[in-house]
Amino acid sequence: MIELAGVGKRYGRGPWVLRGVGLELAPTGLAVLLGVNGSGKSTLLKVLAGIVVPTEGTVSGRGTVGYVPERFPASLKLSARNYLQHQAAVRGTRETGIELLDRLGFIGDLDRPMAQLSKGNTQRVALVQALVARPELLVLDEPFAGLDERSRAELCALVHEAVRDGATAVVTDHTGSRSRLASTLTVTVTDGAVRPVEPGAGGTGAVALACPSGVRSEVESLPGVLQSTTDGPLLALDVLGTELDAVLAAALALGCSVHEVRRERATAAS
């Protein structure tokens, strides 16, 4: 069990980004974090991964960690092959995970400096270095960004395999790909507070809206909106299931039209 107790984080003398966070993550399972931009999701993931030390509170039980940051350092002079070989050597194994790169759709030169790789290929290398180590805790910050549809599906399969093999995975996502993940827990991050979406509370809903100009920020700040992103001409929202009808009614009253509505419930990981 990974447990956060009374966790707070502020950067320097800045405002509290997280405050009073208590969270328990089961030893095997997949948690999805939802929250609007700047709500503190990346900070929470860094605290979970041990990259950022909380200003107050404790984190216990995390074991070995695989972490994929939202932005992988792009200036690496090492080639993807040398980087993965180096990571394997640090772990004391010859298992580089290069075959996982194929599975994730890496097409290109493994021997070019990573700084010259596309965002998608850099993301694939970052994912492989985390997955191949078979960590007890897998922390993935926007792991689907930069990947094509096939690679996203393959990544979902790899995350499910890791969870099936006993890992705890924690994921954020703005691309909509998380709907394919069999999550066991959904957690919202709002104003520095972290709350699990209670089972039986109606789960979450995904909504795609076409909104007249000028009403977007009003729609995004409706009670129950957990996360928003632009999907072409549409505004894509993640909404607390219990507030879904009210958000739809308010959006319609503001002149938006509804393109898609999907209810999502936490399910047992398969």
Ligand X SMILES: Nc1ncnc2c1ncn2[C@@H]1O[C@H](COP(=O)(O)OP(=O)(O)OP(=O)(O)O)[C@@H](O)[C@H]1O
What residues make contact with ligand X under the rule CB under 6 A? Answer: 11, 14, 17, 35, 37-43, 70
The rounded distance, in Å, linking the Cα atoms of 127 and 109 is 17
Q: Which is nearer to ligand X, 113 or 176 (CB)?
A: 176
Q: Which is nearer to ligand X, 136 or 173 (CB)?
A: 173
- 262: amino acid identity, one letter: R
Q: Is 96 exposed, middle or buried (0-12, 13-18, 19+ CB in 10 A)?
A: buried
Q: Which is nearer to ligand X, 44 or 133 (CB)?
A: 44
Closest separation in Å from C-beta 192 to ligand X = 9
The rounded distance, in Å, linking the Cα atoms of 236 and 238 is 7
Q: How many CB atoms lie within 10 A of CB 41?
A: 26
Task: Render the burial of 147-171: b for 16+ CB within 10 Å, e for the rest.
Answer: beeebbebbbebbbebbeeebbbbb
Closest separation in Å from C-beta 59 to ligand X = 16
Specify whether the CB–CB gap between 126 and 117 falls below 8 A: no
Closest separation in Å from C-beta 257 to ligand X = 27
The runs of H, that is alpha helices, within 27-71 are 41-49
Residue 39's DSSP bridge partners are: none
Closest separation in Å from C-beta 221 to ligand X = 16
How many Cα atoms occupy the beta-carbon half-sphere of 23 within 13 Å?
A: 31
The rounded distance, in Å, linking the Cα atoms of 40 and 186 is 15
**To which H or E segment does residue 158 belong?**
helix 149-164
Q: Which is nearer to ligand X, 133 or 170 (CB)?
A: 170
The rounded distance, in Å, linking the Cα atoms of 86 and 108 is 20
Closest separation in Å from C-beta 109 to ligand X = 30
Closest separation in Å from C-beta 10 to ligand X = 8
Q: Which is nearer to ligand X, 169 or 226 (CB)?
A: 226
Q: Which is nearer to ligand X, 43 or 186 (CB)?
A: 43
Closest separation in Å from C-beta 35 to ligand X = 5
Tokens 């632009």 correspond to 230
Q: Which is nearer to ligand X, 16 or 134 (CB)?
A: 16
